[in-house]
Structure 1
Amino acid sequence: MKNNGIPLIGILTARKSDGTIAGNGPLFIEIQKKLISLNGISFVFIPEEVETDHISGYCYSPEERRWKKESFPYPDLVYNRIPFRSSEKKEKSQWLFKHLQEKNIPFFNPCFIDKYELFQLLKKDRTLRDYLPETILVQKQHELLDFLKNFGGIYLKPTQSSKGKGIVRLRLDGPSGIQLKGINRLETYPSIAHFWEEWAEELFKKQYLAQEEIRPAEYEGKRFDFRILAHGNQDGYTLTGVGIRLSQEQEITTHIPLGGKLLPYQLVQSNEHDEFIQTIISTIGKSLSSHLGYFGEFTIDAGLSKTGRYYIYEVNSKPMSFDEADIEEKKIENLCRLFLQLIEKSSKI
C-alpha cells in the first residue's frame, strides 16, 4: 500500500504466546477512525514483520468492519504499544527502535518505566522531589527493617510491574512481629527474619522497592487516588483527563481490575487539586523525555494524604483504557493530533 502523501502511522505491538497479535483492538480501531477523519491512516504491526524496505501489517477498514493484512512502506511515525516488557526487550524490538532513529522516524513511547529508576529521575527535579514518598530498593534485611521501623508501615512493589500487581503492605505488629497484607492475603510473621526467609527469593527475582506508607485522604470513608492522563502537544504537555479511583474491599490499591471503584473527578475537585495536577504534568513529561526518549502520553497515579500533602506514586508509559468515556474520547483526539503534529515537525527537519 502506498500512502500517497497521506500521513501514515504505524502502531507497534507484539505477538502473544499463542501466536495471535496482542494489543488493545478497540483503541486501534478508534484511532483509525479518527485518523481517517483527519486525512490520515494507520496500521498495526509487530517487530518480527519489519523488513528493510517494507512492513507487513494490519489495516482496519471501518467500511468492511474488519482487519486486512497488507504490505506498507515505513510509516511517518510509530506509536509504541508493545504490551509486554519481555517483548520490548527482545533483540528485534531493540533493533527496530535503533532503525527508526537512523531513519529519523519519530516514535513514542520508547519504553516501559522501571519504578525505582522513575523515583531516582523525578527526585532530581526540585518541584517533584517534595511529592515523592520515601523509597529504597530492597537489598538487605536490616535496611528493610530500619525502613519499616522508621515509617511504621511500608509498601513493597515490583519495580517492573503495573496495574497494582504484586503490591503488598508491611506494618509492625507488636515488639518484633510483621503483618503483611496483600490484595487477597493477610499474614503475620514473628520477626523480620521469618519474613525474609519466605520472601527474599521473590524480592530479588522481581526486584522490589520499598515505599513509605502514606495515610491517604478519604472520600466517604474510603481511600481515593487521582488517575491523571496527559499527552504531548506543540507547547509541551496538556491534561487530557482526571479520574478518581476509590478503594472498596481492600485498600492496598485502587486499580479497577483489583476492586477499585470509579468516581467523577468533579466530586472532589478543588483549585488546589487542579494546581497540583497542572504543576506535575509538564515537569514529569519533560523529565521523562529528556532522559529516556520522547513520551507523548503517560498516566500518573497520585494521591493526597490525611494531612493534605500531595504524592506521586507511579507514572505509566502504556496507559490502560480509561473507563470514563469522555476521557477515552479526548485521548483518541489528543493522540491523533499529536501524531500529525510530530509528523509535520519531523518533515521540516
Structure 2
Amino acid sequence: MMNMNLITIERHRSSEPELVVNRETAFDVGIERKKRAYISFGNQKYCVDVAVLDTVSRGKLFIPAYIIDKMHVPDYVVYEVRAYGNEIRLGPFIGILGSVRYENITKDRLEHEKECIRDYSKLHGAITVFSLDSVNKDKRLIKGFCFNPEDNSWKEGIFPYPCAIYRTIGLNEDWQNHFLSTIGDTVFNGQYFSKWEMYKWFSTDASIKDSLPETRLYRSEKDIFDMLKRQKCVYIKPDWGMKGHGVVKASITDEGILFEYRKDKKNNRIVAENRIKAIRIMKDLFAYNECIIQKGIDLIKCDEGVVDFRAVMQKDGTANWVCTVIVARAGAKRSVVSNISSGGKGFMPEELLKDVMGMNNRRALQKIIEMRKFCLKVCRTLDGFGVNCGILGIDIGIDYTGKIWLIEINHRSPHPAIALCIQDRTSYNKIISGPLLYAKSLAGFGRNVR
C-alpha cells in the first residue's frame, strides 16, 4: 500500500540515523508501523530508524542534519512523500537540462524557467535547472539552481541526479546511455530524429502509412527528376530543418522546372529551362544525403497561401497523450511554407475550415475531432517505436477531398507562442507547464499512481 502526503523537512541535531515523524503524518504516508526504512531522494538513498511520536509537529519529517547534507536534500521546498515498501521517497525531484554550459544559465534564463513552474502547487518537490558541464559523472552529482517556493527564487547548490530530466538540449549517445544507466528511462525529449527517419518509421505502420506523402532521401539530382516524372510537384526539405527554413518547391511548368522558396521574407522563383541548368540550381540549393524529397500534396489554401494545422500534443500527469491545442496556419501569399515565422498567420481551425472548405459548424467540429484522433494515434505509435517524448508539435495537412496527411513532427520543444496566434492564453500556459507534469509522473509521482 502506498500513500502520499505533503511535508516539509526539518533538521535535527541527532548523530543517529533516525527519522522522526508525527504519528498522524506517519499514518498518512503509510509508515506508521515502520521501525526501519530508507529515505530516497533522486539517486541518493540512506537507511534510517523510524521513530513515530505524538510530540512532534504534523506535516514534517525530522531528519538529522548530517543526512540532509550528505544526501544534498534541499530543505526549503515542499515535498510529496510516497512509501514504496521500505522506501520513503521525497519528491518529485525533476531536473531541467537547460544548457550545455553552466555560464549560459543566466538570471534571465532562470526567470524564463519560472514560467514552467508558475503553478508550483501542482508540482511540489525539487525543480532544478542544470547544465551538461555541471554534471559530475563520478560522484553522480549536479551543480544547478533549485526553485525555492518560499520566496519565488532560485537557490544555487549541489544536488544528486534527479529522478526525471526534461531535456531542452541535444544529448549524444554517451550522455543518453549514462543517464539511462544511472536514473533509468526517465529522460524525455532527449532523442532527436530526422524527417527521413520519421518517414521510414511510420511507413511501416499500416494505420498511418497511407497518410504519408511519398518521400525519398536526396542522394543525387536524378532523385528529383524521377519524382517529378510521377508527381506534379515535389518539396525538397532539409532533413533536420525547422520553421520552414530551406524548403524548396519544384514543379514542372511549360517553361521548365520551376524552383520556388522563401528567403529574407521574400518569395523567390527560379526557372530551369533545361536539365543542365536544373542540375546547377540543385547543386547550389541542396546537399546530398541532407535533404528529403516529398511528394507535393494539393493541400487546401487560404488567399493563395498553403494551409496546414499545428497540433501541440502533450503527456499529462498520468503519462497519457492529450491534444492541448490545434492552430490552423495559412502561409504568406504564394509562399511554399505555412510557418508563422515565414510570414504566415494563425487561425482558429474551425473558422478556417468553414471559410475555405465551406463546412458548417458540425462538419468543422467533426473534422477537428478526426484530426485530434489522428494525432493521438501518431503519438502512441511513436511511443511504440521507443521514443520518449513529452511534448510534440505535429503538422498535418488536409487536401480538398478532406483527407488528413502527416507532414512533419516537431519533437524539439515546439514553441508555445503558436497558441497566442489565436489568443489562447490557457493553452499557452499548458504548453509551458505541461512537460513538468509529465516529468512528475516519470519521477514516480503521477496522478495515476496509487
TM-score normalized with structure 1 length: 0.86
Structure 1 equivalent of residue 174 of structure 2:
95
Q: Aligned in 2, Cα 1:291/1:37: closer, same or farther, shift over 3 Å?
A: closer
Asked if 1 retains the 8 angstrom alpha-carbon contact of 2:309 and 2:329, the reply is yes
Farther off after superposition, 251-260 or 234-243: 234-243
Q: Please give the per-residue CA displacement for 1:287-344, whole angstroms capped at 9, x wherever unaligned.
A: 2223243122211011111232211100011212233222221224533322222212
Query: Are 1:207 and 2:207 counterparts?
Result: no
Query: Are 1:306 and 2:306 counterparts?
Result: no
Amino acid at match of 2:397: G
Query: Are 1:179 and 2:268 counterparts?
Result: no
Q: Aligned in 2, Cα 1:108/1:240: closer, same or farther, shift over 3 Å?
A: same
Q: Aligned in 2, Cα 1:249/1:57: closer, same or farther, shift over 3 Å?
A: farther
Q: Name the structure with the higher helix share.
A: 1
2:216 alignment partner, SS class: strand
**Offset of 1:271 from its aligned partner?**
3.5
Q: CA RMSD in A?
A: 2.8
Structure 1 equivalent of residue 367 of structure 2:
273
Identity %: 22
Q: Superposed, which structure 2 residues align to 1:67-86 within 5 Å? A: 67-82=154-169
Q: Please give the per-residue CA displacement for 1:46-85, whole angstroms capped at 9, x wherever unaligned.
A: 2221113210123455776665533222111001111xxx
Amino acid at match of 1:137: L
Structure 2 counterpart of 1:260, from 329, 344, 355:
344
Bigger Rg, structure 1 or 2: 2
Q: Could you tell me how far apart the structure 2 residues matched to 1:312 and 1:204 are?
A: 24
Q: Could you tell me how far apart the structure 1 residues matched to 2:406 and 2:110 are?
A: 30
Asked if 2 retains the 8 angstrom alpha-carbon contact of 1:33 and 1:62, the reply is no
Asked if 2 retains the 8 angstrom alpha-carbon contact of 1:12 and 1:80, the reply is yes
Q: Could you tell me how far apart the structure 1 residues matched to 2:295 and 2:284 are?
A: 22
Query: Are 1:46 and 2:131 counterparts?
Result: yes
Q: Could you tell me how far apart the structure 2 residues matched to 1:58 and 1:281 are?
A: 36
Asked if 1 retains the 8 angstrom alpha-carbon contact of 2:237 and 2:246, the reply is yes
Structure 1 counterpart of 2:429, from 317, 320, 329:
329
Asked if 2 retains the 8 angstrom alpha-carbon contact of 1:112 and 1:316, the reply is no
Q: Could you tell me how far apart the structure 1 residues matched to 2:210 and 2:279 are?
A: 31
**Offset of 1:229 from its aligned partner?**
0.8
Query: Are 1:128 and 2:223 counterparts?
Result: no
Query: Are 1:341 and 2:435 counterparts?
Result: no
Q: Aligned in 2, Cα 1:191/1:41: closer, same or farther, shift over 3 Å?
A: farther
Structure 2 equivalent of residue 152 of structure 1:
232
**Offset of 1:45 from its aligned partner?**
1.8
Structure 1 equivalent of residue 73 of structure 2:
2
Q: Could you tell me how far apart the structure 1 residues matched to 2:430 and 2:178 are?
A: 31
**Offset of 1:27 from its aligned partner?**
5.5
Q: Could you tell me how far apart the structure 2 residues matched to 1:41 and 1:335 are?
A: 15
Amino acid at match of 2:434: N
2:371 alignment partner, SS class: helix
Query: Are 1:30 and 2:101 counterparts?
Result: no
Asked if 2 retains the 8 angstrom alpha-carbon contact of 1:59 and 1:67, the reply is yes
Q: Could you tell me how far apart the structure 1 residues matched to 2:198 and 2:346 are?
A: 26
TM-score normalized with structure 2 length: 0.68
Aligned residue pair count: 337
Structure 1 equivalent of residue 300 of structure 2:
217
Structure of greater relative contact order (alpha carbons < 8 Å, 6+ residues apart): 1
**Offset of 1:165 from its aligned partner?**
1.2
Unpaired runs of at least 5, structure 2: 1-71, 76-89, 354-363, 420-424
Structure 2 counterpart of 1:11, from 77, 96, 114:
96
Query: Are 1:284 and 2:378 counterparts?
Result: yes
Q: Aligned in 2, Cα 1:317/1:24: closer, same or farther, shift over 3 Å?
A: farther
Unpaired runs of at least 5, structure 1: none
Q: Aligned in 2, Cα 1:165/1:67: closer, same or farther, shift over 3 Å?
A: farther
Asked if 1 retains the 8 angstrom alpha-carbon contact of 2:161 and 2:183, the reply is no
Asked if 1 retains the 8 angstrom alpha-carbon contact of 2:219 and 2:288, the reply is no
Q: Could you tell me how far apart the structure 1 residues matched to 2:260 and 2:391 are?
A: 32
**Offset of 1:35 from its aligned partner?**
3.5
**Offset of 1:221 from its aligned partner?**
5.0
Query: Are 1:293 and 2:376 counterparts?
Result: no
1:307 alignment partner, SS class: coil
Q: Please give the per-residue CA displacement for 1:159-194, whole angstroms capped at 9, x wherever unaligned.
A: 11111111011111326x211111132111122332
Q: Name the structure with the higher strand share.
A: 2
2:385 alignment partner, SS class: helix
